[in-house]
Structure 1
Amino acid sequence: MAANIKVALVHDYLREYGDAERLLQVIHRLYPDAPLYTAFVDYQQLGTEAKRFAGWDMRTTFAQKLPGIAHPHRWRGLLPYLWENIDLSEFDLVISSSGDFVSKSVLTRAETLHVSYCHTPPRHLWERLRSHPQSLHWYDTWLDTRLRQYDFYASQRVDRYITNSHTAARRISKFYNRPAEVIPPPIKVHGEGQAGDRYYLYAGKLTRQMQVELVVRACTQLDRPLWIVGTGHDAEYLDSLRSLAGPEVKFLGEAPEEALPSLYAEAKALVFPCSSADFSREAVEAMGHGIPVIASQQSGLREVVLDYRTGILFPQPTVESLVDALNEFEGLRFSSVACIERAEEFAESVFVDRLQWFIAQALDAHHAIGVEPERDSFA
């Protein structure tokens, strides 16, 4: 890559330190002088995590001054004006980290290569998830229809797509009619450890979409100890989880990263029940500690968990199916070495090597013939 190339990063918004922000950090380490364009930064919501972005050349949009920053989807109708108001004309390479807030919609010159790491096409626009039913007012339906049309047309501006899994790549192919290179996100892999025998572990967000009630019901039905790490903002859902939980289910709240190794050390397995997830950082982290994973076969974790080698995939997103999987799991043995070796395939160094190679190839093609006809990455 040319040393004098000018690079800009684009990200939906900063209001939590989640999987997308972890990926953004790794990309920023590759391009430390690149400015970051983002819709807004919610410093209050970020709290102490804001220090992770200290020293960055942060450039927010006019959304930073809008009221109601805690509920940004209320003014989602402004998204086209928000992203298209950014001037990226001075840059040779733009890398966007795009999800529900469609930051891939930025405008770039024909000479500029725009590579988008698309975590997913916005699920609220393109799908009605079984675990997250919606009944919309007519205005919301109309607005989502307009935004869906805009999202499709904006998606055609991107030169190259990268995404986290073949599951997400199929979604990009279906909704945008574009191929996507699959480069799983970077994970810090512990590289040692083995499963314990005290409890099953769930780690992640406590939301309806994550279907946490499945593992709570299953472990309560079997009277198996379950430790739950994580929080959520839906008070009604959290109350329902606690009402479903038997005496063997413990809610630990948010755990600091330094506490996770000790939690993994005594866990039988990580249970990840969500059937709509494309990827799971927690699953790879668990395997990196030598812990097998029990996950939904309908999710993107079928690309991560090796069935009957590093865990078990249960077929249906039901309590009965998960109960059967837990019973079967307890009659099997799993190699901690196999789990760790599998996790290392998703290590940060692997991501960096693949991303740099992909961008270098894309830049060469872009400079050689302008815009190269896209190849099908599913071959």
Structure 2
Amino acid sequence: MKIALVHDYLNEAGGAERVLRVLSEMYPKAPIYVAFAKQGTAKKMLDERGKRIVESSWGWLLKIGRMYSYLRCCLPWVWKSVDLTAYDLVITSCSGYIARGFRVKPGARVVAYCHTPPRWLYGYDTPTGANRQWWGKAFMWVVGPFVRYFDYQSAQRVNTWIANSREVAKRIEKFYRQKAEVVYPPIEMPEVRRETVAKRGDYYLVVARMVGGKGIREAIAGARKAGVVLKIVGETVGAGIRKEELESRNVEYLGRVEDKELAKLYAGARGLVALSRDEDFGMTVVEAMAMGTPVLAFNGGGYKETVVPGKTGILIEGTDAKTVAEGIRRMEQIKWEREKIGQWAKKFNRARFEKEIRGVVGA
């Protein structure tokens, strides 16, 4: 059986790219088709593993500046240029760039692992927040109906849907009228020495891309009000949060760090702060818990599926500075059983992911 993998595009590395990496290791002979691939952490991660990456015929244009964002109205033609008629099984890892609508042969099976239907297309927070601006709304008024039609029609060509959370499964049913199996993403953290885990620091941690929808500004304000140190890990993306916004007496911005260093930061933190208001799943939350670290998260989206209040963390109802600060103070009052937190996170391990994916895919 000839298998191909498809992914939206390769730019910055996030949770979706980690899932893609695991899929590429599960199906090592499968080439990876993308709309475009910029030189960056995501492409490097796959290049280092010798993966064959194939760009669409639009790739050269989409890589120029932020053309990939401006040309979303051209997505039907981008994906129609991708010829997968040589393959019997196509597994697509899709989200905001609608990695569907490619050409397949009659009888070929298409399985979609969906991180979320396009957030920008259905009114959810986006990295830049452009869809909340007047010009973003004008753009959506013009191209939205056309792209939504393509999104819906291409969704009907998928044989099997897999969602990364119950939250996303609800969105798939709402926007595509399709049922989806839920397979949580694989969580992998490097081993760290036991004495490192036992030695907790005096800081709270945020791990996210530096964009508006991730609650970075709210976490900074809440930590300042609570009087605690906040360390922030993550790449700056496009027109996201500016570096000067991260410069504060209680904030240490670390940028992108290697996985081993990230594991140590998780292990040393008093808690992880995760304030995205409608998170699709939230892999960083489970990564923190895998290191025995409790989580302060907004009570919404995928966080409701991973955080057990009082046992693995706290869910709060708002993201204003006062509510976040109160949440941090509550975190300080609880004697967390860190080994039990780590045990809970093991249910999201890679072996479980691979078994469930193969069970659904049948290959």
Question: How much has 1:69 moved relative to structure 2?
Answer: 3.0
CA shift, 1:240, in A, is 6.3
Query: Alpha-carbon deviation of 1:84?
Result: 1.6
**Aligned counterpart in structure 2 of residue 58 of structure 1, from 36, 53, 67:** 53
> What corresponds to 2:278 in structure 1?
276
Other-structure match for 2:226:
222
Q: Distance in 2 between the 1:96 and 1:158 partners?
A: 9
TM-score by length of 2: 0.90
What is the alpha-carbon distance in structure 2 between the residues aligned to residue 67 and residue 89 of structure 1?
24
- Kept in 2, the 8 Å contact 1:161–1:179? The answer is yes
The 2-side partners of 1:324 and 1:53 are apart by: 44
Amino acid at match of 1:324: E
Of stretches 101-110 and 210-219 in structure 1, the one that deviates more from structure 2 is 101-110
Q: Could you tell me which amino acid in structure 2 is paired with residue 295 of structure 1? A: A
RMSD, matched Cα: 2.3
Q: Are positions 1:98 and 2:97 aligned together?
A: no
Extract unaligned runs of 5+ from structure 1: 364-379
Say if 2:87 is the partner of 1:76: no
Separation of aligned partners in 1, 2:355 and 2:315 = 29
* Residue 204 of structure 2 is aligned to residue 200 of structure 1: yes
Distance 1:234 1:27, change over 3 A: closer
Counterpart-to-counterpart distance in 1, 2:41 and 2:302:
28
Aligned to 2:26: 30
Displacement of 1:76: 1.7
Contact 1:314 1:321 in 2 (8 A): yes
Q: Counterpart of 1:156?
A: 156
Q: 1-side partners of 2:113 and 2:330: how far apart?
A: 37
Q: For the residues of structure 1 that align with 2:173 and 2:54, how far apart are their CA atoms?
A: 31
Stretch of structure 1 that moved more, 174-183 or 61-70:
61-70
Within the alignment, does 1:341 sit opposite 2:343 as a pair?
yes
Aligned 8 A contact 2:209 2:236 in 1: yes
**CA offset at residue 302 of structure 1?**
1.2
Cross-structure match for 2:103: 107
**Does structure 2 retain, via aligned residues, the 8 Å contact 1:194–1:291?**
no
Q: Does 1:116 align with 2:120?
A: no
Q: Contact 1:189–1:284 (CA<8 Å) still a contact in 2?
A: no
Identity %, equivalent residues: 30
Deviates more, 1:137-146 or 1:317-326: 137-146
**Residues of 1 paired with 2:206 and 2:37: CA distance?**
29
How far, CA to CA, are the matches of 1:152 and 1:47 in structure 2?
A: 28
Residue equivalent to 1:371: none
Query: Hey, what does 1:376 align to over in structure 2?
Result: none
Task: Assess if the C-alpha contact under 8 Å between 2:162 and 2:181 holds in 1.
Answer: yes
Q: How many residues align?
A: 354
State the match for 2:236 in structure 1.
232
Q: Indicate if the aligned counterparts of 1:40 and 1:63 stay in contact, CA closer than 8 A.
A: yes
Kept after mapping to 2: 8 A contact 1:42/1:69: no
Measure how far apart 1:322 and its partner are.
Answer: 1.6
Distance in 2, matches of 1:318 and 1:173, equals 32
Q: 1:236 to 1:26 in 2, by over 3 A?
A: closer
1:164-186 CA distance string (max 9 Å, x none): 11111111111111111111111
Would you say the 8 A contact 1:195–1:268 is kept in 2? no
Residues 85 and 216 (structure 1 numbering): CA distance in 2 closer, same or farther, change over 3 Å?
same
Give the AA of the match of 2:345.
A
Q: Which residue of 1 aligns with 2:147?
A: 147
Q: Deviations over 1:258-299 (max 9, x none)?
A: 212332232101111111211222211111111111111113
8 Å CA contact 1:165–1:300 kept in 2: the answer is: yes
What are structure 2's unaligned runs of at least 5 residues?
none
Contact residue 189 and residue 263 of structure 2 kept, 8 A: no
Are the counterparts in 1 of residues 13 and 42 from structure 2 also a CA contact under 8 Å? no
Q: Aligned partners of 2:299 and 2:251: how far apart in 1?
A: 24
